[in-house]
Amino acid sequence: MNKNNILKINNLHVNIDQKSIIAGLNLSVNSGEIHAIMGKNGSGKSTLAKVIAGHPNYTVTKGNIILNGEDITTQEPDERSHKGIFLAFQYPVEIPGVTNSDFLRLAYNSKQKYNEKSELDPLSFFELINTKITQIDMKPTFLYRNVNEGFSGGEKKKNEILQMSLFNIKLAILDEIDSGLDIDALKNISNHINNIRNTNNAFLLITHYQRLLDYIIPDYIHVMDHGKIIYTGDNKTANQIEQYGYDFINQ
């Protein structure tokens, strides 16, 4: 298989309100690969995810982020998203007053437009979204509710996956996609992710638990601490962490 570099992060330093959160992080992800990122609470995992997606609250003070050979460090989030970066938030936001189906259609069509493809009218979009929502075992009524409003934790996570399944992703960053999911939902979502996976895209999975990685086998597991990657192992690393805690890394 011919692997292309999808994401390269060089010596990244990130501040928020003058406080250093990411300090000297390096990461390289090739097409077809799944990388898991683990690490204690507060080690900077969600910050890393948001910085890759271009969240405006974080300032990159040093280093750069390369997507498919292009430096995207200073690009706007919508441009990064159009280029195939997808972020499923640890805490998905609620958008009162906007139905899920309108939101998804607008997002879908704005991507189609950016990529010079034809947009879908509401009826054609309805057919598409209905197929997707059935595949991830969500009730169609969720399409008519406001985005994430009153959704349970697990339903919000499924909604993130529904979004992802609509877009032509290059790099999906899933921040604790397993939290709040019961075992059936976890299996279902894992299957879905495995189906979306191909040799041209890549996944970054942020998780605390081995159980997600039983269903989606990562090529690498990185451990973050104080804003950098302090250890990189294979898919057995999660087992060791589960057994011995993060301290095994220092032994």
* Binds ligand ADP (CB under 6 A): choice among 14, 21, 169, 241: 21
DSSP H helical segments within the chain, as ranges?
Answer: 45-53, 77-82, 100-114, 122-135, 153-166, 183-196, 210-215, 237-244
Q: Does residue number 41 form part of the binding site for ligand ADP (CB under 6 A)? A: yes
Q: Which is nearer to Mg ion, 75 or 90 (CB)?
A: 90
Q: Does residue number 140 form part of the binding site for ligand ADP (CB under 6 A)? A: no
Best CA proximity match to 224, nearest among 68, 66, 35, 3: 35
Site string for Mg ion, 62-91 (x = CB under 5 A): ----------------------------x-
- Cβ atoms of 116 and 153 within 8 Å: the answer is no
* Least Cβ distance, residue 44 to Mg ion (angstroms): 8
Residue nearest to Mg ion (CB): 46
Give residues with Cβ within 8 angstroms of 16, minimum separation 6: 47, 57, 58, 59
* Binds ligand ADP (CB under 6 A): choice among 47, 163, 188, 210: 47
Judged by beta carbon distances under 5 to 8 A according to partner kind, the member of ligand ADP, Mg ion, none in contact with residue 41 is ligand ADP
Q: Does residue number 34 form part of the binding site for ligand ADP (CB under 6 A)? A: no
| Distance of alpha carbon 203 from alpha carbon 216, whole angstroms | 10
Best CA proximity match to 202, nearest among 173, 233, 243: 173
Count CB neighbours of 184 within 10 A.
10
Piece in contact with Mg ion (CB under 5 A), picked from 12-20, 38-46, 106-114, 160-168: 38-46
Piece in contact with ligand ADP (CB under 6 A), picked from 35-43, 141-149, 161-169, 243-251: 35-43
Could you tell me how many residues of this chain bind Mg ion (CB under 5 A)?
A: 3
The H or E element spanning position 146 is: strand 146-147
Find the binding residues for ligand ADP in span 48-107 (CB under 6 A): 57
- Cβ atoms of 104 and 162 within 8 Å: the answer is yes
Q: Which is nearer to ligand ADP, 103 or 246 (CB)?
A: 246
> In a 3-state reduction of DSSP, which class is residue 131?
helix
Piece in contact with ligand ADP (CB under 6 A), picked from 1-9, 39-47, 63-71, 232-240: 39-47
Give how far Cα 103 sits from Cα of 12, 100, 116, 144, Å: 33, 5, 20, 10
User: Using CB under 6 A as the criterion, which residues of the chain lie in contact with ligand ADP when the complex forms?
Assistant: 16, 19, 21, 39, 41-47, 57
